[in-house]
A and B are shown apart, each in its own frame.
Chain A
Amino acid sequence: MGKPSILSAFKAVKFLFQKPVTLRYPFEQKEPAPRYRGFHLNDWDKCTGCGNCADICPNEAITMVEAPEVEPKPGEKNERPQLDYGRCCFCGLCVDICPPGSLRLSRDYFHIHFDTNTFVFLPKDEAKDEETFLPPEEYSILQASLTHRRKDYEGFSSHPDFTLFEPERVPMPQVSPEERRLSFVEQVLGYSREEARREAARCLECKLCEDACPAHLKISDYIRAIYEDRPDEALRKIFEDNPIPAICGRICMRHCETACSLSIRGEPLAIRWLKRYTSDSIVDYREALELQPAPTTGKTVAVVGAGPSGLSVAHFLALKGHKAVVYDALPGGGGMMRIGPPAYRLPVESIDKDVAYTASLGVEFRFNTKVGTDVLFEDLLNDYDAVYLGIGTTSSRSTRVKNAEKCHLALDFLQRNKIGRPVEVGKHIIVIGGGNVAMDVAREALRLQHIQRPGQETKTMTVSLEDWDEMPATEDEIEEAKEEGVEFNPAWGPKEVVLDDSGEVKGLACKKVKSVFDEAGRFSPSFYEDQVMLLEGDMIIEAIGQGPDFSFIPDAMMENVEFTERRKVKVDEDGRTTLPKVFAGGDIVNVNLDAVTAIADAKVAAEGIDRLLSSES
């Protein structure tokens, strides 16, 4: 360092002749950086109204407000975030938590106004608000405000590697395809305590799932209880709306997971497996639940069918103090659940766990009792104060092509394998159908081939009218069936069952499908009659759908049963049919044809029955 001099400072004089560095605003402007954190942008088409932005905001600057122009639907609320720029600190936490990535920040940052109310703003983006977002030629910095902004001026936006939510699911331990196809061992092994807590920790508690669930389970509450390691509290929350968690924890159709906000840019929360974890981790429901039925009312209700809706209605009625008696033709509870889902997905022990708890509340079960033959429907109407029909769809449909009587029917096949003597299967099996039941049948058939014909060259194929993209079975089912070795023939329709000289099944003649649905979207398959093929096989199973069996209702009474346009039993908002004191729910009422919708119907009907019975006394 030189000797301090008083004259050295005069060297700065040279700066007098340099261009000033100051910008002459507003004539000269500085372009904000591409990541600039300015005012918000929100893509209303992507936004689900989940409200995570409002929850994370440290300044409570974001409020979710109703957006009347948005139609609420499963997975989307009609709410959108509203910003208060008097509070916002532009930290961008809202951007990094946003599950769909719809909320971004722009590079605009100017708003000057005398009215503080204008600082409260509902952000949209140029796609929805052309008045605010202007092209450069119409934009003027002198008018810049929250309602006068630049188009295509994106700033800080969400990045999949830096989100605050965890997009990946804790993997569910499963038996490998090679191993599981050799037996009926349960495929899914279930989460451990630590895995369940880790998975539950992913939940953002936006409750989109609860709106989407037909039975409106308090999902975020029980997920939080699992996270807090209180499975008994989780079970109590589940039981408020769903009395068969061991069943639903395995086979639920997961409307919730489709709606889960994490599913938009990642994997949905494993809500079903967490429910399964809850029911499995509690040995005795009674100790955990401590549910006390109301004092008995002396009223009695006959429940026809011990499936999900029958079990649920009996459970809810028992809690209200009514005596429920459940009739079912099968030797145990569960209805279609007992015979339909193969043991590798839903073991009988899990069903019995749920049924036993319902029985412990005072519900009486009369198994092996078929209404219409062992007990008459008219007698039920006379003997009970109300009757609930939860009969489901129990008769398999047939393709009715030539020689179709030589085929096996899906439900008989599944029932015998699960609770009877397993069917002797052929070497080459053809399953007709592309739905979940067809997948169950094909995967069971494949297992039976491995068990009954070890070491032999065997084959299981499916034939479905629908092509890959429109196949009704869930993606998981199709994927797992493929892993196990099931072969698929999509977009082929059955023409006739071909027999050999001795009258045994030789194969299935198929024709190429032109389209499955007509222009109005109705099921009306059309074919290329000239494109045919023969699938060779010695056993054919039809799994193309099931229908209800109302034969137990006397014809005179049946005339009074009204149906909807979609051939469903018509019920009012109390679940009441057009027959006096007869209520109904489940597959004969709803079009979803799944367990959780049946439970939802049962909840409605239980309230309706309770109202009817209370008004009588």
Chain B
Amino acid sequence: MIPGSQPTDTDSERELELYFGPQHLGMVGNFSITLKVRGDRIVEATANPGYLHRGFEKLMEYRTWMQNFPLVCRVNVVEPDSMEMIYAMGVEKLAGLEVPERAQYIRSIYLELARVGSHLFGLWAYSNMLGFDTPAQWAMYHRDLVLDLFEELTGGRVYHIYLWPGGVRRDFPEGFKDRIVETLHSIGGCVPDYDSTFFNNRLFHQRAHGIAKISQERAKALGATGQVLRATGMRYDIRKVEPYAAYDQVDWEVPTREEGDAYSRIWVIRDEMIESVHMIFKLLDAMPGGEVYNRVPNPFKWEIPPGETYVRCESSRGELGLYMVSDGGDKPYRVHFRTPSYPHGLTILEELLKGASIADVGNTMISLYIVAPEIDR
């Protein structure tokens, strides 16, 4: 439009194609959305994944059962641990391996720590995107404290490669329990600060309330899980539905909200983080002694009997599933992941963006808690 001229009907009605990402300040990860806009309103959104495709599922067919471990965690960069868990569960189910009881507790503690770390990262992404830089910085710092725990336990900060089939790779180091408690207390002590600056901040409420609202019916129809579904009032969590590791050994609650919008989703994330911390304390108290690893066969000659399996766990984003087939060889015949970001980032995102304002694209996307590498794998 020529500056200074009056808009005509034809100008405002004209449809434009707008690229949101893969290089965009509001975009987290290598992902792109092609928007058809009329004025400020989105007419149609097409999710455009593929910028981060690394062919993991295919690569895994060329690596032995054990060699896949350093690979599988890379599917979800932010929370590699539930990827390790799902793959270990799949291998254990196909090969009929038992896991010692102590290892089950360590697994749960480890996965909950990962959930806290991942949610802090999500909180950074969301608050940062909305312009709340201060709580974003805190979240990043607190996530680093969780990574320090991972470093001490596993030797790695981001890719831990810790959860093996048959148990875990090493036992807790001396005094590690105390340091978990200490770290979680110091993070938990900041919850009032987070609340006052972010969660109870009017600006956040204004910015997120009613945005990207989805009904429970639509959420279920489109395959939503995790916070997206729980924010619509449905109490659905794999840790309760189909308990694994040591999740059935302690009492804990599944936090839910009713509204189904961006605001309630972020609140579910917050409540979940707090619930995870409480769960870790309970697990630490109940944790038995003993072995943490049942040795797996020689990795060079480990062949798993033919069969197929589907296993699932609750990652920090929702239901994470793994379909795996063995043809009796030393490598998987086929691997396929059901990642929560896939429905959230493609079908649900496309639906929620329809009719939304351009300014809410990032808001919608990050409130759906999408991690792009999970979609492209």
> How far does the alpha carbon of A130 sit from the alpha carbon of B356 in the complex, in Å?
65
What count of chain A residues pass the 8 Å CB interface test?
A: 48
> How far does the alpha carbon of A327 sit from the alpha carbon of B66 in the complex, in Å?
55
Q: Mark B150-168, 1 if CB is under 8 A from A, else 0.
A: 0111111001010000000
The 8 Å CB contact of A159, one of B170, B193, B205, is B170
Question: At the interface, yes or no: A557 with Cβ under 8 Å from chain B?
Answer: no
B313 to chain A, nearest CB (A): 22
Are A32 and B201 within 8 A (Cβ)?
A: no
Are B155 and A9 within 8 A (Cβ)?
A: no
Q: Mark A19-60, 1 if CB is under 8 A from B, else 0.
A: 001000000000011111100000000000000100110110
Are B66 and A93 within 8 A (Cβ)?
A: yes
The 8 Å CB contact of B196, one of A9, A33, A56, is A9
**Contacts A201-B298, A227-B301; is A93 near B67 (CB within 8 Å)?**
yes
The 8 Å CB contact of B69, one of A34, A91, A162, A202, is A91
Are A155 and B155 within 8 A (Cβ)?
A: yes
Are B170 and A35 within 8 A (Cβ)?
A: yes
**Contacts A1-B199, A5-B200; is A56 near B66 (CB within 8 Å)?**
yes
**Contacts A92-B161, A164-B299; is A58 near B71 (CB within 8 Å)?**
yes
Are A5 and B297 within 8 A (Cβ)?
A: no
Q: Which residues in window 44-97 of B have CB below 8 A to A?
A: 63, 66-71
Q: Which residues in window 54-81 of A have CB below 8 A to B?
A: 55-56, 58-59
Count A/B pairs, Cβ under 8 Å: 120
Among A34, A59, A91, A203, residue most surrounded by chain B Cβ atoms (within 10 Å): A91
Are A8 and B159 within 8 A (Cβ)?
A: no
Q: 12 more A-B contacts (CB under 8 A) besides A35-B152, A89-B70, A93-B299?
A: A4-B204, A11-B197, A32-B151, A35-B153, A35-B154, A58-B70, A90-B156, A97-B299, A161-B293, A201-B297, A201-B302, A203-B300
**A227: which B residues are within 8 A, CB to CB?**
301
**A12: which B residues are within 8 A, CB to CB?**
134-135, 193, 196-197
Question: At the interface, yes or no: A105 with Cβ under 8 Å from chain B?
Answer: yes
Q: Which residues in window 220-243 of A have CB below 8 A to B?
A: 224, 227
Are A93 and B70 within 8 A (Cβ)?
A: yes
**Contacts A4-B200, A162-B170, A203-B298; is A11 near B70 (CB within 8 Å)?**
no
Are A33 and B200 within 8 A (Cβ)?
A: no
Question: At the interface, yes or no: B222 with Cβ under 8 Å from chain A?
Answer: no
Are A11 and B196 within 8 A (Cβ)?
A: yes
**Contacts A11-B196, A162-B293; is A55 near B300 (CB within 8 Å)?**
yes
**A202: which B residues are within 8 A, CB to CB?**
298
Question: At the interface, yes or no: B141 with Cβ under 8 Å from chain A?
Answer: yes
Question: At the interface, yes or no: B203 with Cβ under 8 Å from chain A?
Answer: yes
A4 to chain B, nearest CB (A): 4
A95 to chain B, nearest CB (A): 9
With CB as the reference atom, state the residue of chain B lying closest to A197.
B301
Question: At the interface, yes or no: A273 with Cβ under 8 Å from chain B?
Answer: no
Question: At the interface, yes or no: A211 with Cβ under 8 Å from chain B?
Answer: no
Q: Which residues in window 62-118 of A have CB below 8 A to B?
A: 89-93, 96-97, 105
With CB as the reference atom, state the residue of chain B lying closest to A198.
B297
Question: At the interface, yes or no: B173 with Cβ under 8 Å from chain A?
Answer: yes
- Could you list 10 examples of A-B contacts with CB < 8 Å? A4-B200, A9-B134, A12-B197, A35-B152, A35-B154, A52-B300, A58-B67, A90-B159, A93-B66, A163-B295
| Interface, chain A (partner B; CB < 8 A) | 1-6, 8-9, 11-12, 15, 21, 32-37, 52, 55-56, 58-59, 89-93, 96-97, 105, 155-156, 159, 161-166, 200-205, 224, 227
> How far does the alpha carbon of A105 sit from the alpha carbon of B134 in the complex, in Å?
37
> How far does the alpha carbon of A156 sit from the alpha carbon of B66 in the complex, in Å?
18
The 8 Å CB contact of B298, one of A8, A33, A37, A165, is A165
> How far does the alpha carbon of A92 sit from the alpha carbon of B67 in the complex, in Å?
11
**B70: which A residues are within 8 A, CB to CB?**
58-59, 89, 91, 93
Question: At the interface, yes or no: B202 with Cβ under 8 Å from chain A?
Answer: yes
**Contacts A6-B203, A8-B196, A162-B170; is A33 near B71 (CB within 8 Å)?**
no
> How far does the alpha carbon of A55 sit from the alpha carbon of B66 in the complex, in Å?
12
Are A204 and B300 within 8 A (Cβ)?
A: yes
> How far does the alpha carbon of A166 sit from the alpha carbon of B300 in the complex, in Å?
12
> How far does the alpha carbon of A36 sit from the alpha carbon of B173 in the complex, in Å?
12
Question: At the interface, yes or no: B169 with Cβ under 8 Å from chain A?
Answer: yes
What count of chain B residues pass the 8 Å CB interface test?
A: 45
Are A8 and B197 within 8 A (Cβ)?
A: yes
> How far does the alpha carbon of A2 sit from the alpha carbon of B299 in the complex, in Å?
56
With CB as the reference atom, state the residue of chain B lying closest to A58.
B67
B103 to chain A, nearest CB (A): 12
Q: Which residues in window 199-217 of B have CB below 8 A to A?
A: 199-205
Are B199 and A9 within 8 A (Cβ)?
A: no
Are B196 and A35 within 8 A (Cβ)?
A: no
With CB as the reference atom, state the residue of chain A lying closest to B170.
A162
Are B152 and A166 within 8 A (Cβ)?
A: no
The 8 Å CB contact of B67, one of A52, A56, A105, A161, is A56
With CB as the reference atom, state the residue of chain A lying closest to B263.
A4
> How far does the alpha carbon of A503 sit from the alpha carbon of B161 in the complex, in Å?
79
**A5: which B residues are within 8 A, CB to CB?**
200-202
Q: Mark B273-286, 1 if CB is under 8 A from A, else 0.
A: 00000000000000
Are B173 and A91 within 8 A (Cβ)?
A: no
Are B197 and A9 within 8 A (Cβ)?
A: yes
> How far does the alpha carbon of A580 sit from the alpha carbon of B301 in the complex, in Å?
51
With CB as the reference atom, state the residue of chain A lying closest to B267.
A1
> How far does the alpha carbon of A91 sit from the alpha carbon of B135 in the complex, in Å?
33
The 8 Å CB contact of A33, one of B132, B135, B152, is B152
> How far does the alpha carbon of A15 sit from the alpha carbon of B69 in the complex, in Å?
41
Are B151 and A36 within 8 A (Cβ)?
A: yes
**Contacts A55-B300, A105-B155; is A35 near B173 (CB within 8 Å)?**
yes
> How far does the alpha carbon of A59 sit from the alpha carbon of B203 in the complex, in Å?
48
**B295: which A residues are within 8 A, CB to CB?**
163, 166
Are B71 and A36 within 8 A (Cβ)?
A: no
With CB as the reference atom, state the residue of chain B lying closest to A36.
B155
With CB as the reference atom, state the residue of chain A lying closest to B142.
A21
Q: Which residues in window 295-315 of B have CB below 8 A to A?
A: 295-302
A492 to chain B, nearest CB (A): 46
With CB as the reference atom, state the residue of chain B lying closest to A55.
B300
> How far does the alpha carbon of A66 sit from the alpha carbon of B33 in the complex, in Å?
53
**B153: which A residues are within 8 A, CB to CB?**
35
**A89: which B residues are within 8 A, CB to CB?**
70, 159
**B156: which A residues are within 8 A, CB to CB?**
37, 90
The 8 Å CB contact of A21, one of B67, B141, B193, is B141
A25 to chain B, nearest CB (A): 13
**Contacts A58-B63, A161-B293; is A11 near B193 (CB within 8 Å)?**
yes
Are A34 and B298 within 8 A (Cβ)?
A: no
> How far does the alpha carbon of A541 sit from the alpha carbon of B156 in the complex, in Å?
66
> How far does the alpha carbon of A164 sit from the alpha carbon of B298 in the complex, in Å?
6
The 8 Å CB contact of B155, one of A6, A33, A52, A203, is A33
> How far does the alpha carbon of A147 sit from the alpha carbon of B153 in the complex, in Å?
28
Q: Mark B217-247, 1 if CB is under 8 A from A, else 0.
A: 0000000000000000000000000000000
> How far does the alpha carbon of A8 sit from the alpha carbon of B153 in the complex, in Å?
38
Q: Which residues in window 121-155 of B have CB below 8 A to A?
A: 132, 134-135, 141, 148, 151-155
> How far does the alpha carbon of A59 sit from the alpha carbon of B169 in the complex, in Å?
20
The 8 Å CB contact of A37, one of B155, B173, B197, B267, is B155
Are B300 and A156 within 8 A (Cβ)?
A: no
Among A36, A162, A163, residue most surrounded by chain B Cβ atoms (within 10 Å): A162
> How far does the alpha carbon of A164 sit from the alpha carbon of B297 in the complex, in Å?
8
> How far does the alpha carbon of A551 sit from the alpha carbon of B374 in the complex, in Å?
83
A154 to chain B, nearest CB (A): 11
**A4: which B residues are within 8 A, CB to CB?**
200-202, 204-205
**B148: which A residues are within 8 A, CB to CB?**
33
A435 to chain B, nearest CB (A): 36
**A162: which B residues are within 8 A, CB to CB?**
169-170, 293
> How far does the alpha carbon of A5 sit from the alpha carbon of B195 in the complex, in Å?
11
Are A9 and B203 within 8 A (Cβ)?
A: yes
The 8 Å CB contact of A156, one of B155, B200, B204, B301, is B155
With CB as the reference atom, state the residue of chain A lying closest to B168.
A162
A206 to chain B, nearest CB (A): 10
